[in-house]
Structure 1
Amino acid sequence: MVDCYPWQSALRAQLTSRGQHPHAYLFHGPAGVGKRAFADGLVAFLLCQRPQPPVACGQCKSCLLLAAGTHPDHYLLEPEEADKAIKVDQVRDLVGFVVQTAQLGGRKVVLLEPAEAMNLNAANALLKSLEEPSGNTHLILISHQPSRLLPTIRSRCVQQAFPLPEWGQALEWLGRRLPELDDECREVLLQLAAGSPLGAVRLHQQGGLALRAQVVEGLKKLHKQQITPSQLAEQWNALPLVLLFDWFCEWSLLVLRFQLTEDDLGLGPKDTAKVVRYLAQKSSSARVLAMQDWLLAQRQKVLAKANLNRVLLLETLLVQWASLPGPS
């Protein structure tokens, strides 16, 4: 039986105590808060033949089939390739499943993640199933970016928000999940993951602290003109592009925030606080805004796995970043 995270226990008790469930849920919130784990638990509970609220029994035929990945009344819809779109043909196959009779005589449950990966045709193809579900069918949509969904998709679902857990609760969980790290490292990881505990774990698994130290050191050398953008781009060629662009997007936002507020508490992580302050004081807001627009556009290309020249992209990034300080 899939368990939920500690910050989800109250919500699990609330949803599993319902006598009836809507035909469609939309679970939305930032990545890394455990929406998928919660959804898997609810799927198991809805399909279970002898549920024991707030969990499935884990022993009935339905639970055993689900655990084996062979439950005939469970349908999982995901992109065929990582970070690619969910296509209309995939949704049409799903619709075919929805109109069938449940083979075990109970509910049919569909899990779709991430919902924003549906292209326009796929989203439109899903609408009829959301409007008029067949039989005892429940659809659970998971979205990390609900603003990208069609309003007609959102309006046909019961929306359930999954916010970030409280900082102390997240740190307590990380203490159990990453006991090999000290408190300071766990806190830094959580800060770098924007409060997402699962994101902090993934970052640790990527060697995130060492990568961060390497990037920050290179950034400081760049601003001191101890290294050229082309040299630094070569050094960073093997680093994860998504991670790099996430950090640069965060730094540009922190620069803008400090320019508006001059609040030292808004400088972000300690390792780059001085750099953020320096850029905020020496750069024009117009130039930082233009930089942020460029970063967001390139980040989308990286996420879409566009055929990019990595070194050239990084060199362009670093040339623009190094030129932020100065007159408008």
Structure 2
Amino acid sequence: MAEAYPWQENLWQHLAGRAQHAHAYLLHGPAGIGKRALAERLMASLLCQRPTALEACGECKSCLLLKAGSHPDNYILEPEEADKAIKVDQVRDLVGFVVQTAQLGGRKVVLIEPVESMNINAANALLKSLEEPSGDTVLLLVSHQPSRLLPTIKSRCVQQACPLPGEAMSLKWLAQALPECSEEERVELLTLAAGSPLAAVNLQAQGVREQRMQVVEGVKKLLKQQQSPTQLAEEWKNIPMLRLFDWFCDWSSLILRYQLTQDEAGLGLADMRKVVQYLAQKTAQGKVLDIQDWILAQRQKVLSKANLNPALLLEALLVQWASLPAQR
């Protein structure tokens, strides 16, 4: 059974309690809030032969087959490799499944995640099945970035936003999920995860706090001219490029915010507050805007899996960052 997260209770009642289900749902929201678990929970309920109180019974033939991963009326479509596209041939196989008759005599349920990983050809191949799925078929589409979806995909689904849980609820859940961390560490992890509690747990498992400490120390040495951009680019080669660009993008935004407001409460996490304040005081606003535009452009290239040289890209970022205090 998929885990039921406390922040999803009202959403679950709304979705699972529908008198009649739509043929396609688009569950969208930030990564790391449990959308996949919600979709799997709904999938189990829709396939169950004896659901009770909106939940799958866990004991009928359908539930047992689903648990074993061999349910004939269930289809999960995802990239063949992590961070790769869902290909058109995969979607064509799915279309073949959709037109078949349900073998257990009930519904067929399809789960696609993340749906934005479909390329254009794959997305177009799905349209007919989304518009008129044969038989009693329900498609559950999970998206972390719905802005990347074709309008024709979104218009054929009942769109259901899955919001971030509140900070208090997230921290309460994290206290159980990460009992080895202090309250301060859990707050830091949740901040680094942009408020997504499941992402915070993943970041802790990946050693993100140690990575952050290494990067912050390196930035300070860079500004003091104690280490060169080339040296730091080499030291950081095992840290995910997107994570590094996210941090530098965040720091540039905090610099601009402080330049405009002089609000010390808006300087971000404690580890970089003094650096952000120093750069805000020593750097021309136009220069900060320029580097932020550059960071956003390069971040988009990283996101789109462009053919980049990570070491050279990171070195270019650090050369520009090191020049900030001189531009006043």
One-letter amino acid of the structure 1 residue matched with residue 239 of structure 2: L
Deviation at 1:132, TM superposition (A): 1.1
One-letter amino acid of the structure 2 residue matched with residue 81 of structure 1: E
Name which of structure 1's ranges 75-84 and 32-41 shifts more when overlaid on structure 2.
Answer: 75-84
Deviation at 1:118, TM superposition (A): 1.2
TM-score (normalizing by structure 1): 0.95
How large is the RMSD of aligned CA atoms in angstroms?
Answer: 1.6
Residue 203 of structure 1 aligns with which residue?
A: 203
Distance in 2 (alpha carbons) for counterparts of 1:222 and 1:294: 19
Q: Secondary structure at the match of 2:26?
A: strand
One-letter amino acid of the structure 2 residue matched with residue 285 of structure 1: Q
Residue 93 of structure 1 aligns with which residue?
A: 93
2:279 and 2:324 in contact (8 A); partners too = yes
Name which of structure 1's ranges 301-310 and 196-205 shifts more when overlaid on structure 2.
Answer: 301-310
Distance in 1 (alpha carbons) for counterparts of 2:216 and 2:119: 37
Unaligned runs of 5+ in 1: none
Residue 247 of structure 1 aligns with which residue?
A: 247
Deviation string for 1:147-194 (max 9, x for gaps)? 111111111111111111010100000000010111111111111111
Q: Secondary structure at the match of 1:25?
A: strand
Distance in 2 (alpha carbons) for counterparts of 1:260 and 1:95: 53
Deviation at 1:304, TM superposition (A): 4.5
Deviation at 1:317, TM superposition (A): 1.4
Distance in 2 (alpha carbons) for counterparts of 1:69 and 1:269: 43
How many residue pairs match? The answer is 328
Residue 103 of structure 2 aligns with which residue?
A: 103
Deviation at 1:45, TM superposition (A): 0.5
1:274 aligns with 2:302: no
Name which of structure 1's ranges 317-326 and 141-150 shifts more when overlaid on structure 2.
Answer: 317-326
Name which of structure 1's ranges 6-15 and 210-219 shifts more when overlaid on structure 2.
Answer: 6-15
Correspondences of 1:68-217 after superposition (within 5 Å)? 68-217=68-217
1:16 and 1:53 in contact (8 A); partners too = no
Q: Secondary structure at the match of 1:325?
A: helix
Q: Secondary structure at the match of 2:139?
A: strand
Distance in 2 (alpha carbons) for counterparts of 1:99 and 1:260: 58
Unaligned runs of 5+ in 2: none
2:27 and 2:143 in contact (8 A); partners too = yes
Deviation at 1:290, TM superposition (A): 3.0
One-letter amino acid of the structure 2 residue matched with residue 321 of structure 1: W
Distance in 2 (alpha carbons) for counterparts of 1:54 and 1:280: 54
Distance in 2 (alpha carbons) for counterparts of 1:187 and 1:178: 11
TM-score (normalizing by structure 2): 0.95
Residue 285 of structure 2 aligns with which residue?
A: 285
Distance in 2 (alpha carbons) for counterparts of 1:198 and 1:59: 28
Deviation at 1:122, TM superposition (A): 1.3
2:287 and 2:327 in contact (8 A); partners too = no
Distance in 1 (alpha carbons) for counterparts of 2:32 and 2:74: 24
Deviation string for 1:91-131 (max 9, x for gaps)? 11111111111111100111011111111111111111111
Distance in 2 (alpha carbons) for counterparts of 1:89 and 1:297: 32
One-letter amino acid of the structure 2 residue matched with residue 219 of structure 1: V
Name which of structure 1's ranges 280-289 and 128-137 shifts more when overlaid on structure 2.
Answer: 280-289
Name which of structure 1's ranges 174-183 and 278-287 shifts more when overlaid on structure 2.
Answer: 278-287
Distance in 1 (alpha carbons) for counterparts of 2:65 and 2:245: 42
Deviation at 1:41, TM superposition (A): 0.4
Deviation at 1:142, TM superposition (A): 0.6
Residue 264 of structure 1 aligns with which residue?
A: 264
1:325 aligns with 2:325: yes
Aligned sequence identity (%): 69
Distance in 1 (alpha carbons) for counterparts of 2:134 and 2:285: 54
